[in-house]
Chain A
Amino acid sequence: MTYPNLIPVLPELFMVFMIIVLLLVDAFTSEKQKGANLLLTMITLIGCFVLQKYVDHGVTELTFNNMFILDNLAMGTKMFTYLFSFVAVLYIKRYVSDKKFQSGEFYVIFLFSVLGMMVMISADNMLTLYVGLELFSLALYGLIALYRDNVRATEAAMKYFILGALASGILLYGISFVYGATGGHLQLEDVLRSMLTLGDANAGLMTFGLVFIVAGLVFKLGLVPFHMWVPDVYEGSPLAVATIIGSLTKIAAVVFVIRFLIGGLVLLNPAWSVMLLILACLSLFFGNVIAIAQTNIKRMLGYSTVAHMGFVALGLVTVSVDGVSATIFYVVTYSLTALAGFGILTMLSKGDFECQSLDDLKGLSKTHPVMAALIMLVMFSMAGIPPLVGFYAKFKILAALLAAGYVGVAVFAVIMSLIGAFYYIRVVKVMYFEEPVITLEVADVCIFSRSVLLVNVALLLIIGILPSALMMYCNALVSG
């Protein structure tokens, strides 16, 4: 009997340990000492970051009977996940205490969702991928439902839960076909190997399963026609939860898709890249066009996510190192941008107020010029206006598409981005050229959170001007 090598799993173990510590601490502290929850959450995320650095030996490590993989991709994306989770906690901590969330449960469930993301990112087996997905999704349903006195939040949680369970069922059904067609393999390398030896023998069964797998995967990304939950969930969930769902979870979701499609089922490639291509084009179209009609910012950002995920899927369609590293770059910078965007909205929601209507932002430049300028930069970055990072991210995806020969699709994507620019710039217009309707108050967030927000937005500009370092890093994650 050999014991599994626990060194690569140290960050996960630490996370589990700290979740249990946090549960106990929350149970035995009084209402006045609830700051301890926040402190422990931050320590956990920093600790995971440090441990992740410590276990990095630059080589791919497998453990637990090849169920767990720690390669460069897992390493890098996990680091981003910890970092962005930490920043998200800084942005939402005031909101969580203002809105009288049960802070202990909130942070515990949040850490559970981070754990789920970690598992999804470094899973090397369809079984672990699935369990990680369930852990992650269940935590998100819980986070939304935690705002239980709000009817919209309850409705959003219910909708997300039912549709998510359906998508999980579809995904599992697809996995069962792969399991049958490969003669009982779930480990991604084994699936690949048995497909090589089997040749075309079970292509029908595999394709049949693949359709269900792709449907389950794109539900998690939120591509049209599996996007119905995205705007509803964004609108219904409180801003603190929308900050988490709208930004940092996307990294894990994209890595999840990469593991499935490029790690395991790459040999079925012409089949799934065509599916993704069609879904991505539909998302670009519907996401951008429907977003124009929205007056709720959260809902608008929901549709904008659909469009952005369309871009991400286009990067995967190319199945080239350039395309996939452009995808990672895109999703990381998109998370950074969305994090800042939702973070600002969260900070503008003081007390019981929830800053979510486009009217709330009217004339923001007169009342809060700094906040208005930050929102402007975020919106320009999302629209893809040159000096900001959104432009470079879109450019790299388009370049990869052109290199792979999809000229028509690239042109279509550019036109759709142009349409999308309308509603981003409308936010800026509302802030700068209209008179205030209500006086927004900035929640009294600590100076540290404010400076992190400034750095966050500054990074959008800096990476936009000097993207090569991050791009090379993403490239190393994929090719190394």
Chain B
Amino acid sequence: MDVTSVLFYVFSAILLISGLRVITAKNPVHAALFLVLAFVNASCLWMMLGAEFLSLTLILVYVGAVMVLFLFVVMMLDVDLEAIRKGFWKNFPMALVLGVVVLIEMLLVVLKNPLVTMSANSDPATNISNSNKLGWVLYTQYSYPVELASMVLLLGLVVAVALTLRKSEKAAKYQNISKQVATDSKTRFTMIKMDAEVEDKGEAQ
């Protein structure tokens, strides 16, 4: 076995174990951290396939942005773990039966027809860099899905604002920019005349 295969199995094993721990970890913060570990290993696998752009993007976007936000939310929210686990053992036998049935079905298909590996019809041995090539096909061959994805993002933006913005309530704070700009020292400072402090000898102990 050469180094690449060894590395592949190491990364895959860690990926699978951490994936399993995401759903079995009792502490949600641990689960989120295991998810980060899974992402890092998946990114290593991509790196081995020669997809360095995707690999780094996975780290930057998912680990750097999404998971940090996720961890933040998990830590901020007071999640009642007992309420989530309630009914787990009641539903467990049913879930186990269904899971075993699905597993047997999968094994039947896989064992009956051996999975043939196919080589993709791409040629990685070119001098163009990965991101260059990706950018090229994204805006030519895949321009339609890219434009659609931008519409999905716009929709997400609109829905997020519509769900959180409450125009009518006093909780919402707005900036009145013209008022802010038109301000002067008189509205900012109020001069108060005060008598000078006189030391009170009698009570100061």
Contact = CB atoms under 8 A, between A and B. Distances in A.
Main SS class of interface, A: helix
Contact of A208 (B110, B118, B122, B141): B110
Given A64-B144, A67-B145, A108-B158, A135 B121 contact: no
B175 interface: no
Contacts of A203: 113
Main SS class of interface, B: helix
B121 A183 contact: yes
B148 A204 contact: no
Interface stretch (A139-147, A323-331, A347-355, A437-445): A139-147
Contacts of A211: 105, 109
Interface in A45-80: 64-65, 67-68
B41 to A, nearest CB: 18
Task: Assign chain B's interface to a size class.
Answer: 20 to 34
B148 A135 contact: yes
Contact of B162 (A1, A105, A180, A204): A105
A211 B143 CA distance: 30
Interface string B112-142: 1111101111100000000000000000111
Contact of B118 (A115, A139, A181): A181
A184 B116 contact: no
A295 interface: no
B121 A139 contact: no
B25 interface: no
B163 interface: yes
A433 B131 CA distance: 71
Nearest to A100: B168
B155 interface: yes
B106 interface: yes
A281 B27 CA distance: 42
B99 interface: no
Contact of B113 (A135, A180, A204): A204
Contacts of B148: 119, 128, 131-132, 135
Nearest to A205: B115
A61 B108 CA distance: 42
A142 B155 contact: yes
B113 A105 contact: no
Contacts of A141: 159
A26 B141 CA distance: 35
Interface string B143-174: 11100110110011011011100000000000
A138 B144 contact: no
A176 to B, nearest CB: 12
A148 interface: yes
Contacts of A201: 116
A16 interface: yes
Nearest to A132: B148
A16 B149 CA distance: 13
A203 B110 CA distance: 10
A67 B112 CA distance: 35
Nearest to A207: B109
A127 interface: yes
A41 B122 CA distance: 45
B151 A115 contact: yes
Nearest to A128: B145
A228 to B, nearest CB: 14
Contact of A204 (B105, B109, B143): B109
B163 A205 contact: no
B113 to A, nearest CB: 2
Interface in A97-115: 102, 105, 108-109, 112, 115
Interface-central residue, B113, B118, B120, B155, by most chain A CB under 10 Å: B155
A386 interface: no
Nearest to A183: B118
Contacts of A142: 155, 158-159, 162-163
A23 interface: yes
Nearest to A127: B145
Nearest to A204: B113
Contacts of A64: 143-144
B140 to A, nearest CB: 7
Interface string A187-208: 0000000000000011111011
Contact of A205 (B116, B140, B141): B116
A184 B155 CA distance: 30
Contacts of B145: 67, 125, 127-128, 131
Interface of A: 1, 4, 16, 23, 64-65, 67-68, 102, 105, 108-109, 112, 115, 119, 125, 127-128, 131-132, 134-135, 138-139, 141-142, 145-146, 148, 180-184, 201-205, 207-208, 211
Interface of B: 105-106, 109-110, 112-116, 118-122, 140-145, 148-149, 151-152, 155-156, 158-159, 161-163
6 contacts: A109-B155, A135-B155, A138-B155, A139-B155, A184-B122, A203-B113
